[in-house]
Amino acid sequence: MYKTHTCGELRSAHIGQAVTLAGWVHRQRDHGGVTFIDLRDRYGLVQIVGDPALPGLEVIQDARQEWVLQISGEVRRRPAGAENPNLATGEIEVEVKQCQVLNPSKPLPFLINKDEDIDENVRLKYRYLDLRRERMQKNMVLRHKVIKFMRDYLSEREFIEVETPFLFKTTPEGARDFLVPSRMQPGTFYALPQSPQQLKQLLMVAGVDRYFQIARCMRDEDLRGDRQLEFTQLDLEMSFVERDDVLDLVEGLFTDMVKQILPEKRLLASPWPRLTHAEAVERYGSDKPDMRFGMEVYNLGDIFAGSDFRVFQMALESGGVIKCIVAPGCSEYTRKEVDALTEFAKTQGAKGLATLALSAEGVRGTAQKFIKPEEVEAIQQRTGAKTGDLVLFVADSNSVANKTLSALRLLFRDKLNLADPNLLAFAWVVDFPMFEWSEEEQKWDAAHHPFTMPKMEDLPKFETDPGQILSDAYDMVLNGYETASGSIRIHRSDIQHKVFELLGLKDEEIQSKFGHLIEAFEYGAPPHGGMAPGIDRLVMIFADEPNIREVIAFPKNQAGRDVMAEAPSPASERQLQELHIRVVEPEKSDK
């Protein structure tokens, strides 16, 4: 055996025992003829002590960071005053009797034993080293615990885990597919799954009434801090359920998970708040609100209906809105700071930003000379703004005002530290619109996906007013992120066909792309629904990390590259010939 114990398990109860350990040199220190090494493995650190002058122990003086050692020795109590209360093994040390170098290490590209700022591309190039760091080890363990809890929780409730294929056909999930050429059927392609959506619905038709899967999904889309080309979700589906059955199950799962594996965190509320999509957007400017703090959005259109402020008049006359948020304690912002906020608002699509500072010396700000005293009083009554606060107004279309104020709200959240990082503000957003109008393509698009059941009472609106149809879709939001999306699904072929037609699909296209699904619905498909919490994003929030790359073992960088393995990489000419593929290089610009 390479070891009898792990480095992290030794305690005072082991004093006097002979042990064998194996691990990495975390730190090495020479003190007057005695060498101290902090030996590390996944389970923790332990101090080992040896005299390099003794036969066979010369190597402990030569050992450097990240050398792999095997040592044998005896556990003893540390000398009085030398204990380390910050270390689980801090009461003891191991006196080395034998030491063997299992593998030395080259000089490191960065330090493992310090949590310092390192260029991310360097970390990703040497990811196998980066993963040795304590922070990353904790994240990997947390991710494991989250996934194990999900599996155990659902298995105890009669769910069964079913694997669905990676090679399927293209599906309308809102992003580009990764295509895989078929060697055996030249000119045809599989698509990697954006989600197992159709397959899990077919499992419901098959009578697998409670399904789940820790599903790997792929979407060829631009990357962000909370998005990767490939990601992992808890995919689940249930038959003979209504919306609240699904919500109650998932809420129970995460409520219990927080109690058991995140004891340092607390829930904002239990049961979780439920907001309609319209209410969430009206109150927070977003359908994924961070509810850990206030700063809600207020509509002031009625207060300024008779305003002399031309900017406000023009917004209302064109069918727009006047909305605001209140930044607490920010009345003393300088003109330079207000100008920076205005420039930020413009990046969100707003034409500008008006401000009103409620200072102890009186009202001032860019809108001060245009707003009457009675309007100021009405604003304070509606918003609760008080002396010392800064009111920020956007007069624009409703969508632009919501987007801008939502972004400003999150900006102030971070600037003013308004959100407790140990507070988990889970909430449900329900009753989403079924369709969105695409100005660019001049057609209706599915707001969620085309397999979502519309509200049954809204079915007559397919012919009269599709924009007013609500769906049985729902999102799980957490601290400003959408962390799960789901819906009650269409299980009737006539409704599914009607949805596809409204989206502009012809009969031949419907048959070629979705004929297998529509036909399956004609063989006794049960009512069903489900959702898919995103594991990467959830673990990112639970671990207080700034992006999901910190909780994925081998992520791609912001450019979508694996800088460790240098992927993607060109295929050989032989591979291309076997797949009947010719690479067409993009045309070079003259610029």
**CATH code, domain with 69:** 2.40.50.140
| Cα 414 versus chain centre, distance | 18
> What's the average model confidence in pLDDT over 549-564?
95
- pLDDT interval class at 1 (50, 70, 90): confident
Q: What share of the chain is helix, strand, coil (3-state, %, to 5)?
A: 30, 25, 45
pLDDT tens-digit profile of 72-100? Answer: 999 999 999 999 999 999 999 999 999 99
- Please report whether residue 577 resides in a domain: no
340 sits in which H/E element: helix 335-347
Quick one: average pLDDT of 432-443?
90
Q: Which amino acid is at 572?
A: S
Residue 545 has pLDDT above 70, yes or no: yes
Q: How many angstroms separate the CA atoms of 176 and 285, rounded? A: 28
Separation between Cα atoms, residue 61 and residue 522, nearest integer Å: 75
Number of folded domains that form the chain = 3
pLDDT at 31 over 90: no
Q: Is the dihedral of CA 482, 488, 491, 494 positive or negative?
A: negative
Is 533 found in the same domain as 455? yes
Q: What mean pLDDT comes out for the span 450-477? A: 95
Identify the CA nearest to 12 among candidates 79, 90, 73: 90
521 contacts 506 by C-beta, under 8 angstroms: no
Q: Is 463 in the same domain as 539?
A: yes
Q: What is the pLDDT of residue 116?
A: 86
In a domain, 261, yes or no: yes
> Percentage of residues in the chain with pLDDT exceeding 70?
99
Report the DSSP pairing between strands 435-438 and 423-424: unpaired
Q: Supply the pLDDT for residue 171.
A: 67
**Which position has the token pair 């080992």?**
48
Shared domain check, 546 and 462:
yes
Residues 396 and 323 in one domain: yes
Instruction: Say if 570 falls within a structural domain.
Output: no
Which among 418, 450, 476 is the end of a domain?
418
451 in Cβ contact with 490 (< 8 Å): yes
The predicted pLDDT at position 543 comes to: 97
What stretches of 262-330 show up as alpha helix (H) in DSSP?
277-284, 310-317
pLDDT at 439: 85
Report DSSP state, residue 297: -
Q: Are 527 and 240 in contact (CB under 8 A)?
A: yes
The torsion of the CA quartet 548, 553, 558, 561, rounded to 10 degrees, works out to -160
Q: How many degrees, rounded to 5, is the angle at CA 364 between CA 360 and CA 368?
A: 140
- CB contact at 8 A, 406 and 378: no
Residue 509 located in a structural domain: yes
Residue with tokens 């009607």: 498
Nearest CA-CA partner of 195 in 171, 211, 163, 227: 171
Same domain, 79 and 98: yes
One domain for residues 498 and 398 = no
For 150-203, write each residue's pLDDT tens digit.
999 999 999 999 999 999 987 665 678 999 999 999 999 999 999 999 999 999
CATH number of 321's domain: 3.30.1360.30
Query: Are 75 and 17 within 8 A, CB to CB?
Result: yes
| 293 in Cβ contact with 413 (< 8 Å) | yes
Give the residue from 418, 437, 468 where a domain finishes.
Answer: 418
- Which domain does 361 fall in, by range? 293-418
For 496-513, the pLDDT digits (tens) are: 999 999 999 999 989 988
Do 302 and 396 reside in the same domain of the chain?
yes
Both 400 and 436 in one domain: the answer is no
The answer to whether residue 589 sits within a structural domain is no
Does residue 524 belong to any structural domain of this protein?
yes
Confidence of residue 224 (pLDDT cuts 50, 70, 90): confident
Q: Is residue 239 part of a domain?
A: yes
- My answer on whether 93 and 145 are in the same domain is no
> What pLDDT was estimated at residue 174?
63
What tokens were used for 157?
A: 């409730």
**314 and 391 both lie in a single domain:** yes
- pLDDT at site 591: 55
Could you tell me if 386 and 438 lie in one domain? Answer: no
Residues 298 and 347 in one domain: yes
pLDDT over 80 at 225, yes or no: no
Instruction: Note whether residue 165 is domain-resident.
Output: yes
What's residue 221's pLDDT?
Answer: 86
Distance of alpha carbon 176 from alpha carbon 170, whole angstroms: 9
Rounded CA-CA distance 254/264 in Å is: 15
Mean pLDDT of 369-393: 95
Is the pLDDT at 33 greater than 90? The verdict is no
